[in-house]
Amino acid sequence: MLGLGGTTKSALLEAKDSGVVSLILSDPQLQADLLKDPQSALQNNKKLQEAVMKDPEMQKIAKDNAQNLLQDPRVKDFLKEQAKNAAGKAMQALRGSAVKGLEAFKKYVQAGPAGIQMLCFLSGCFTLVIGVLGVINLFSAIESPFTFVMNIYVLTFGLVALIVEADEERLSETPLLEYVAPKILVAQELLHVEAKFLTLLWGRGLFYVFVGLLMATQCWLCFFFLAGAANVTVGVLCLLTHFGVDIDIDYMSRQAGTAYDKISTVTDADAAQFGRAAEAWAKSSSSGDKLCKALHKQATEGDVTGERPTGMFNATAKSEYDARQKLIGMATTDAKREFVAYALQHKYLLHLHTWTCMEYFMNYIMRNKNGGKIVQPKLYCNAVPI
């Protein structure tokens, strides 16, 4: 950098209203030209010359050196600095876009094991059906107002259970139900803010137990009692899951449920494992994982192009397109690294070298499912040398 006076240099570097920065940001080639040879770039770009001349400090320089403005070292210094600033802002915007893309997959409801989640969903359906049948029976409102009000409560409880247990990803891939998926996500977001306890396992567990006891005490061996017993059962299962009791084989995934969100940095070696990660994922039972599939496409093909698929029964293709759209702007190298990290967290890779596996999980410890003992994560890698 050339040595400029304090006030002059400050004025040059703080010029933000002239349009120079926005012009540089909008033209990546201009950024490169300015960093390489700002003087030539200025001489060959009329728009840049006009933007420079609108800057108050540049106008002062023009008065002092009107004949050789393009060769003035202060102009060169100004343009080079602005190009660096623009490049930095562009990189921050790109990283922000990639992070935003991943955060778009964030769920507002803490999910339990798939089996328990399905039981809760079915229990909610049963509860909702009983509530609907009770409400549409208008004669009960006359004969027994208390029972009618109770049916309204039951209907509401069942509807809430369906919302919190619904899998937005699965709905978005189901014909006709794909139109309901965005509404479900909005409702889950609302519950996350207004009734957050319902989006947590322990909160839902207490909720189901309360609803179940309320319904089971209404009668003996009737539909109310059966639905109540079902709610109490799934409520207890949710509470047991929350307190770490091993109910199924998904123990590791349950304990590391937020591990993917916490992975902020990965090494270049991660990208080298992409091929094996993709092969292992393709052979796994979770090859339809929407986020994993979107990351794989982003890593191999780059940003999604073309129009969104159409058709009433083309829900899966539309869902995959929407998932890829959320990752637009993520570099292919970053996508490969995130893909490998995601695959490791979900145990798609069982054949990486033991030390490679430990490297990914060295910052995480898991609770031993047998005795509650804290152990090193290498015990869960199940990896063998390759």
Kindly give the confidence (pLDDT) of every residue in the chain, 386 residues in length, as a single tens digit, with 9 standing for 90 and above: 333 334 333 433 344 445 666 667 667 677 677 767 776 777 777 777 777 777 666 666 655 554 455 556 666 666 666 666 665 655 555 445 444 444 444 455 556 666 788 888 899 999 999 999 888 887 777 888 888 899 899 999 999 998 888 877 777 777 777 777 788 888 888 888 888 888 788 988 999 999 999 999 888 888 889 999 999 999 998 898 888 776 543 443 444 443 333 333 344 445 557 777 777 777 766 666 777 788 888 888 888 888 887 777 677 777 778 888 888 888 878 778 787 777 776 655 544 444 344 444 443 334 334 444 433 333 334 333 33
Burial of residue 307 (CB within 10 Å: 0-12, 13-18, 19+) is exposed
From the centroid of its chain, how far is CA 18?
A: 37
Burial of residue 54 (CB within 10 Å: 0-12, 13-18, 19+) is middle
Alpha helices in 137-222 (DSSP H): 138-143, 145-165, 168-172, 181-194, 201-216
The residue behind tokens 């033209």 is: 27
Q: DSSP state, 374? A: E
Strand partners, 375: 366
Burial of residue 373 (CB within 10 Å: 0-12, 13-18, 19+) is exposed
CA angle 109, 174, 226 (to 5 degrees): 60
Element (H, E) at 258: none
Q: Does the pTM exceed 0.85?
A: no
- Gyration radius of the chain's alpha carbons: 30
The segment(s) of the chain belonging to CATH 1.20.80.10 are: 258-380
**CATH assignment of 258-380, given 1.10.760.10, 3.30.70.980, 3.50.40.10, 1.20.80.10?**
1.20.80.10
